[in-house]
Amino acid sequence: MTRQAQIDELLSIMARLRDPEGGCPWDLEQTFRTILPFTLEEAYEVAEAIEQGDLQALRDELGDLLLQVVFHARMAEEQGGFDFFDVVRSICDKMVRRHPHVFGETDLGDSAAVHASWERIKAEERAEKGELAVPESVLAGVAQALPALVRAEKLQRRAARVGFDWDAIEGVVDKVREELEECQETLAEHADPTDRVHEVGDLLFSCVNLARHMGVDAEQALRAANHRFEHRFGEVEAALREQGLTPAREQREEMERQWTLAKGRET
C-alpha cells in the first residue's frame, strides 16, 4: 500500500465513523469542544512516550494524535469549512514562509536570528489578518490554552526579550523567598482566601522564573517530580503490604520511614 493510499484509508475510516447512515453513534455525537479534551490528552501521551524514550509507544501515540487532527478536519469539512488537505496545505505554506533562510535567499547566521525572524514573520501574518487593531503587545500570541507552567515560561521569555528580566539568578532566588514569605502571611486566620490564591500563584510564577534561569523546563521538571512521587509511593505501598499493612493515617511514621528508604535507593 502506498503512503498516499494509507492516508486515504485513514480519511475513509473517519468518514465512515461520521457517516449518519451506519456510522458510530459516539463519533457522530462529537463536536470540536467535546473532542478537545481528548486532543489535549493525546498530546500529553506523546510527551510521556518521549520522556520515557519509548519509540514504539511514541509511534502509537503519534498515531492517536494524528487521528485527532483527522477528526477535527472531518467535522470542519462537514460544515463546509476546510478539509484535511487544506490543513496540510496551510502548514506547508507556513513552514516555507517562516523559513526564508532555507527556502529563500535570506541569510540567517544562527538559531537566535532564526527565532527572531520567526517571530517577526508571525507578527506580520497577524497584521495581514487584521488582528492588530492596536500596537501589538510583546506578550501577544501566547496561547491561553497552554498548561499554566508552560504559558508562564513563555510569557517570561517574551518579556525578557525586551529587557524585563533579572540580571542575575540571585535576584530570582530572593524573589522566590519573598513570595514564600507572603504565602506564609496568608496562613493567618483572618487572611482573605483570595489573597492565598494570588500569593500561591505568585510563588509558582517565581518558581517558573527560577527554573528558566537555571535552564530547566518547569513543565518537564514537575512531570518528572510526579513520576518520582508515584514510584516512591508505590514502593511505600509495597513495603507496607509485606508487613500486612495498608496506607493509613495510623501508619504515617512507617510510611515516612519507607519513603526515606525508597528515596535513598534512587540515589
CATH number of the domain within which 163 lies: 1.10.287.1080
Nearest-angstrom CA–CA distance, 117 and 193: 44
Q: Is residue 258 part of a domain?
A: yes
Statement: residue 259 has pLDDT above 60 = yes
Task: For residue 63, give its domain range.
Answer: 3-97
Statement: residue 139 has pLDDT above 90 = no
pTM: 0.67
Q: How many domains does the chain have?
A: 3
Distances (CA, A) of 109 to 28, 100, 102, 148: 50, 12, 12, 33
Q: Are residues 29 and 88 in the same domain?
A: yes
Q: Are residues 26 and 87 in the same domain?
A: yes
Q: Are residues 55 and 33 in the same domain?
A: yes
Residue 254 contacts residue 240 (beta carbons within 8 Å): yes
Sorting pLDDT into bands at 50, 70 and 90, what band is 196? very high
pLDDT tens digits along 89-106: 999 999 999 999 899 888
Instruction: Please give the share of the chain, as a percent, with pLDDT higher than 70.
Output: 98
Statement: residue 161 has pLDDT above 90 = no
Distances (CA, A) of 78 to 35, 47, 87, 90: 15, 31, 15, 19
Q: Are residues 29 and 93 in the same domain?
A: yes
Q: Are residues 166 and 187 in the same domain?
A: yes
The b-or-e profile of 22-59 (16+ CB within 10 A means b, else e) is eeeeebeebeeeeeeeebeebeebbeebeeeeeeeebe
Q: Are residues 89 and 142 in the same domain?
A: no
Q: Are residues 56 and 21 in the same domain?
A: yes
Statement: residue 190 has pLDDT above 90 = no
Q: Are residues 206 and 169 in the same domain?
A: yes
Q: Are residues 206 and 229 in the same domain?
A: no
Q: Is residue 120 part of a domain?
A: no
Q: Is residue 124 part of a domain?
A: no
Statement: residue 113 has pLDDT above 90 = no
> Which residue, 177, 201, 216, sits at the end of a domain?
216
Q: Is residue 36 part of a domain?
A: yes
Q: Are residues 89 and 147 in the same domain?
A: no
Q: Are residues 158 and 182 in the same domain?
A: yes
> Which residue, 200, 216, 232, sits at the end of a domain?
216
Q: Are residues 73 and 159 in the same domain?
A: no
